[in-house]
Amino acid sequence: MNLGKNFKGFLIAIEGIDGCGKSSLSENLISELNNLGFETVKTKEPGATPLGQYLRDILQNRTFDIDDKAEFLLFAADRAQHMHQVVIPALQSNKIVISDRMADSSVAYQGYARGLNIDIINKINDWATNSIKPDLTIYLKIDYQTAISRVKHRYNKNEQELTHFEKEKEEFFKKVITGFDNIFKIKDKDKVLIIDGTQNQNTIILQTLEHILDKIKIKKKLNE
């Protein structure tokens, strides 16, 4: 799908393993961008639409077995609805969209960690998203030990159950990390920002905000 000229918004995906700090970063970036006068939409996968909320609950709190292929197709269904209902309308009205995870999460989790065929995942993702890709993906890179201790701390504090994915073993998360590392090694360097997720939040916000503002300026100029 070609969204056309005259800017047409800016799509940012934030990726990384559970506990890498994606959710705080997307909240902070949205408030910084709003303060600068941009119109923004904060969103996520899975779970940004009414259909997505059902799918997220099934995927995270399942009480029955879900086959790996079925798991991926549920994420893809969430993704198709998310693009149709949230992302495309926001881009068409020239907004800055920040999504906590997008298609690369399926490549890392269902492809690299679960072992599904990555070419098929990429094809279905492409179909589900109408070939719309993020203008910029921020990869918050963090080691397994730091991530898992953050996840455990968060859940001990809130006295909440760990989700299906958070209960996975170290070996699974190490494969997810390798997956993300490989995905971003081969992507167009212009569209990726790799950030050390163990740094303090303020440093991360400054590094990412500056980069985002530069990229928006360039896209605006090109699409005038």
Query: Residues annotated in the binding site for ATP, as ranges?
Result: 16-23
What does the alpha-carbon distance between residue 69 and residue 125 come to, in Å, rounded to a whole number? Answer: 13
For the bound state, the minimum distance from the C-beta of residue 155 to ligand TMP, rounded and expressed in Å, comes to 11
C-beta closer to ligand TMP: residue 75 or 180: 75
Binding residues: 16-23
What does the alpha-carbon distance between residue 36 and residue 216 come to, in Å, rounded to a whole number? Answer: 13
Give the helix/strand (H/E) hosting 125: helix 118-128
C-beta closer to ligand TMP: residue 42 or 44: 44
Residues 6+ apart with CB under 8 A from 127: none
Neighbours of 70 (CB within 10 A): 9
- Scan residues 104-163 and list those touching ligand TMP (CB under 6 A): 105-106, 109-110
The site string for ligand TMP over 10-49 (x = CB under 6 A, - otherwise) reads --------x-------------------------xxx---
C-beta closer to ligand TMP: residue 8 or 52: 52
Task: List beta partners, residue 96.
Answer: 10, 40
Q: Which of 42, 82, 95, 101 binds ligand TMP (CB under 6 A)?
A: 101
Tell me which residue has tokens 């549920």.
Answer: 74
C-beta closer to ligand TMP: residue 3 or 162: 162
The residue ranges that bind ligand TMP (CB under 6 A) are 18, 44-46, 75, 101, 105-106, 109-110, 165
